[in-house]
Chains A and B, each alone.
Chain A
């Protein structure tokens, strides 16, 4: 077990709750990088958590971050496409925030390189939360509790920078590494139930792990899945304008995939059993279709379900005191 050095022994302000610290990183997982100006602290997490659940972050007060990123659904919403204020339907499926702090680039295009800078898009987009930063800052500065929390966390009054840093701190804490698969690998379980161990073998034999690479079950790279003959969403190509990037998306993690459907960037596939049968493009540019006997498909799905981290999904630490 490796230990992160910048945590422990502070109690959260303004509540009787025990402070939330960054957990020890289990063997087999990489350490997470924190920006120099945004090391983890319980007070920053607490501020971020309160913001995450505050519907005042949306223009009409109807949505918080947690409306679409529901903790018990691995921070997704089970809708094919996300919905913004006024029930405006977006164009993409809400991505899970599971282990989001490990990503190197963010969003479907990969155009954002810091987690702190992922807040503005949903916050300010008229298709999502539609919030004016000026109005939000006025509201936060008029709230004594927020003024106190910002002061504790960042020694400042509420500001756009401190707000985005606090939300990023909350999101970095969204780590999932205690699924049955993890516990089995660490020797904490004698076996993987329901034949999911056979599914793990099939997962490797079928080279799923080539892109869905453990322990994150994502290689964090962009790949083209030929869902349509002509991509309806340019994905990374929107940013790079390269033809080879058209329709490419960052490999999503498979952790907690049991609760993160519907699947793919546009939520087109409802059932996990069908999602595993979509074609992919191999290293030589050839389209490959899974050719798995039905029995192996069943084992594969059982394995994917073993990546569900129940403690993570049911943890009370994601919720502010009044939300529990």
Chain B
């Protein structure tokens, strides 16, 4: 009996140690925190993109994006020791004004990298939106909740396009709504980041739209792949869209 107990304690200890290895530490409330500002803006072909601006993509002459909503989660900073410190659990980005600023707090110190997930991790994705205040990112008020599946959309990107080859007088709807546990990925941005007293440390990110639609996970055909709601027959579109989107985020 003692032997079994001993083995059980040993296994539990090993599991505990291994699970701690890459887990980010939560903020220590006794350590003072200072401002860290994450600025996100859109680009098309290296030029700033403003929502509702009409641009062209290859053979599609007129494309206009009018809605972009994004969840970022588990935003973490890495100390030189390799330890990750979580500074935000989830943030909701609404690009109605073409750019978004996240004002975060981080413990003072020197960091070597920032890491964040595009979308929600499986725990967050299983949340009940009614359990949050209406101003919380995961509240249903943001219109990101897929209530029929009790999951969230990770990104909503919508717009219109004139396909040219189809009907030149009719704009086609663009709507990509990816959201699934399997889509969740974290992206790491190596950079020297100093968080110090009295200073507001800005980090500027751009999202290059060219890379969203022509990324390493495949191109998105504006004519035949203009919509995806992560349904069985368009799941593959949502998958390449969101992974391209994650890779299109660059830290300047």
Instruction: Please report A residues at the B interface, Cβ cutoff 8 Å.
Output: 107, 109, 111-113, 116-117, 119-121, 124-125, 132-134, 137, 159-161, 163-164, 234, 237-239, 241, 246
Least Cβ–Cβ distance between A40 and chain B, in angstroms:
19
Least Cβ–Cβ distance between B145 and chain A, in angstroms:
7
Least Cβ–Cβ distance between B213 and chain A, in angstroms:
24
Q: Which residues of B, 130-164, contact A by the 8 Å Cβ criterion?
A: 130-131, 134, 139-141, 143, 145, 147-151
- For B, the interface residue count at a CB cutoff of 8 angstroms equals 18
* Complex contact B235–A160 (CB within 8 A): no
B29 within 8 A of A: no
| A111 contact set on B, CB distance < 8 A | 148-151
* Complex contact B139–A133 (CB within 8 A): yes
Least Cβ–Cβ distance between A43 and chain B, in angstroms:
19
Q: Is the interface of A mostly helix, strand, loop or mixed?
A: helix
6 further interface pairs, Cβ-Cβ under 8 Å (given A112-B150, A116-B128, A120-B130): A117-B130, A133-B134, A133-B139, A133-B141, A161-B131, A164-B130
* Complex contact A109–B130 (CB within 8 A): no
Given A112-B150, A117-B150, A121-B147, CB of A241 within 8 Å of CB of B134? no
Q: Is the interface of B mostly helix, strand, loop or mixed?
A: loop
Q: What are 20 A-B pairs at a CB distance below 8 A?
A: A109-B149, A111-B150, A112-B147, A113-B150, A117-B147, A117-B150, A119-B130, A120-B130, A124-B147, A125-B147, A133-B134, A133-B141, A134-B141, A160-B129, A160-B134, A161-B128, A163-B130, A234-B232, A241-B235, A246-B232
Least Cβ–Cβ distance between A166 and chain B, in angstroms:
12
> Please, how many angstroms separate the alpha-carbon atoms of A116 and B143 in the complex?
18
Q: With contacts defined as CB atoms under 8 Å apart, how many contacts are there between chain A and chain B in the complex?
A: 59
Q: Pick the contact of A238 from B129, B139, B141, B232 — CB < 8 Å? A: B232
Q: Pick the contact of B140 from A124, A159, A241 — CB < 8 Å? A: A124
Least Cβ–Cβ distance between A116 and chain B, in angstroms:
8
> Please, how many angstroms separate the alpha-carbon atoms of A239 and B134 in the complex?
27
> In the complex, which of the residues B134, B151, B235 has the most CB atoms of chain A within 10 Å of its own CB atom?
B134
Least Cβ–Cβ distance between B151 and chain A, in angstroms:
8
* Complex contact B134–A117 (CB within 8 A): no
Least Cβ–Cβ distance between A237 and chain B, in angstroms:
6
B23 within 8 A of A: no
* Complex contact B150–A238 (CB within 8 A): no
